[in-house]
Copies of this chain bind each other. A is one copy, B any other.
Amino acid sequence: MLGNMQDFPLLVTSLIDHAEREHGEREIVTRWANGQELRSNWGIVALEARKFAQMLGRLGVQRGDRVATIGMNHAHHISSWYGTAGMGGILHTINPRLHADQLVYVLNHAGDRVLLFDKMFQPIVEAIKDRLETVEHFVLFDNAPASDGYACYRDLIDAEDGDYRWVDADERDPVGLCYTSGTTGNPKGVLYEHRSNVLHAITALQPAVMDLSSRSVMLPIVPMFHANAWGIPFAAAAVGAKLVCSCSNDGGVLWKLFREEKVTFSAGVPTVWLAMFADMDANGGDYGALQRVVIGGSAAPRAMIERLKKAGITVAHAWGMTETSPIGTTGARPHNWAELSFEQQVDIIAKQGRPPYGVELRIVGEDGQSLPRDGKTSGRLQIRGPWILQRYFGSEELAIDEENWFDTGDVSVLFPDGTMQITDRAKDVIKSGGEWISSIELENEAVGCDGVAEAAAVGVHHPKWDERPLLLVVRKPGATIGAEDILDHLQGRVAKWWLPDEIKFVDELPHTATGKILKRALRDEYADYSLATADD
């Protein structure tokens, strides 16, 4: 039957159409890896998206084919997303920090026919090129000219006229592909759809999520190969925000861009903020026009929250994962904010926030039964909603239960007002005497201690308690802090029985491709470690 309201599919291409039509001159600035700058705008990026779609057609790419990118954040990358979507293709973003075997796996598993890569990743590509089974076209993606037998984006785009009309699509058609970094087994692909991306984009705009408008100047530090840069290139198009993209995450380069481009909003993992603080401490300078920071990937240390807050910056956590598009929760000021003390405000910011309309959360016990939202009980976090995955790419099996719940692998607490606090990854939690110790909370408290640069808590086998915490600590350069200092600091900040049985100083800790501490490697390394207390 004919509906009464209009039939408009929610298509990613309608986002770039809107940006071009209503905000065509709003800027998109790219700072390339070689220090050069490209000043573009939504109108130009939209035109290049149409040229990109034409170019893919010329290369023989068909509807439903996958097009891969190994690229940093830049204007070409944004055009490639919209152009691929607009010709019915699927844009596959690849994390360059994956191991070579994983890169080969994801490219072959996705069946990518085209691979665009930034010049800096040419060695990575060449190291695996012979093992790629489906890639027919290799294209230099950033501002590098054609060389070494590779065509380049600029030449290919300039050969097209942009006279292209997006193919008709269904809003449930797939449009993007991103593999989870997968600490065990092969990476698994998450296939985003037009509809899920558009709903996620307009949700991101609201004040309690990212608070975006055409007045925003956003520098997404989070890379486009990491869960769609949290969806920012879609959300920004929905309002015509100015985007500032950097191919370098060097603290000094970023601060310079923040100030020169009057960045008001940024989003990234905690480690990049540490790098930026280090640069600021060394070279001085202020925060420029910065008003709002969203931190995700892992929890921000309390000291980082306090530093940003004292500078007058609205700081909030966001929590999500590749499988959730990624927004699951975001921190936002509750309505009684003005009545809270500084410490109470920081307590709220230190949690992961609340779900926007569209997302539903629950925690379950080991038996799969729902647990209360009492701010105390912790359980496995589950999530459902229109931008949450239901099955992995190429899999016939559902990744959700019969009520749509997707198990996140995180352990968390839910508060009565819906606020969520991650207490650990399910596999990282330290099981001591039948109770759970949060490795993350131990680490965050340890990092708040003067002289500690980084810390990792792992469960080590203990004959009596099953597991007990071992805390691995990297000292700040020049710091002489000892184990007793850290224990003194932890006293009163965590439960007494959470105190690590041993604190071991190391020169560095291993990290995942996305900058998180690689707990699995530490667990392997310390699997047979003998705690000094094991004979207690």
Question: B-contacting residues of A (Cβ < 8 Å)?
Answer: 2-8, 10, 14-15, 18, 21-23, 25-26, 172, 174, 190-193, 195-196, 199, 202-203, 205-208, 211-215, 217, 238-239, 242, 325, 332-335, 337, 354-358, 360, 384-393, 398, 400, 404, 406, 417-418
CA distance A217 to B23 in the complex (A): 31
Most central of A191, A335, A391 by chain B CB within 10 Å: A335
Q: Closest 8 CB pairs between A and B?
A: A4-B191, A8-B386, A205-B206, A22-B418, A5-B196, A238-B357, A207-B213, A208-B213
CA distance A354 to B208 in the complex (A): 22
Residues of B within 8 A of A190 (CB): 4
Residues of B within 8 A of A26 (CB): 335
Q: A26-B335, A357-B202 are in contact. Are A393 and B4 (CB under 8 A)?
A: yes
Whether B207 and A212, one on each chain, are in contact in the complex, defined by CB atoms closer than 8 angstroms, is: yes
Whether B390 and A5, one on each chain, are in contact in the complex, defined by CB atoms closer than 8 angstroms, is: yes
Whether B388 and A6, one on each chain, are in contact in the complex, defined by CB atoms closer than 8 angstroms, is: yes
Q: Which of B15, B217, B238, B390 contacts A7 (CB 8 A)?
A: B390
A354 to chain B, nearest CB (A): 6
Whether A400 and B6, one on each chain, are in contact in the complex, defined by CB atoms closer than 8 angstroms, is: yes
Q: A22-B355, A238-B357 are in contact. Are A8 and B332 (CB under 8 A)?
A: no
Whether B334 and A206, one on each chain, are in contact in the complex, defined by CB atoms closer than 8 angstroms, is: no
Whether B213 and A332, one on each chain, are in contact in the complex, defined by CB atoms closer than 8 angstroms, is: yes
CA distance A18 to B385 in the complex (A): 12
Q: Can you name 22 A-B residue pairings with CB atoms under 8 Å?
A: A2-B390, A3-B172, A3-B193, A4-B389, A5-B388, A5-B389, A5-B390, A6-B388, A8-B404, A14-B357, A18-B357, A18-B360, A25-B417, A202-B358, A206-B206, A206-B213, A207-B207, A207-B211, A207-B213, A214-B332, A215-B332, A217-B335
A452 to chain B, nearest CB (A): 36
Whether B174 and A4, one on each chain, are in contact in the complex, defined by CB atoms closer than 8 angstroms, is: yes
Q: Which of B6, B22, B174, B400 contacts A404 (CB 8 A)?
A: B6
Whether B215 and A206, one on each chain, are in contact in the complex, defined by CB atoms closer than 8 angstroms, is: no
CA distance A389 to B6 in the complex (A): 6
CA distance A78 to B536 in the complex (A): 64
A19 to chain B, nearest CB (A): 9
Residues of B within 8 A of A215 (CB): 207, 332-335, 337
Whether B203 and A208, one on each chain, are in contact in the complex, defined by CB atoms closer than 8 angstroms, is: no
Which residue of chain B has its CB nearest to the CB of A391? B4
Whether B206 and A212, one on each chain, are in contact in the complex, defined by CB atoms closer than 8 angstroms, is: yes
Whether B390 and A3, one on each chain, are in contact in the complex, defined by CB atoms closer than 8 angstroms, is: yes
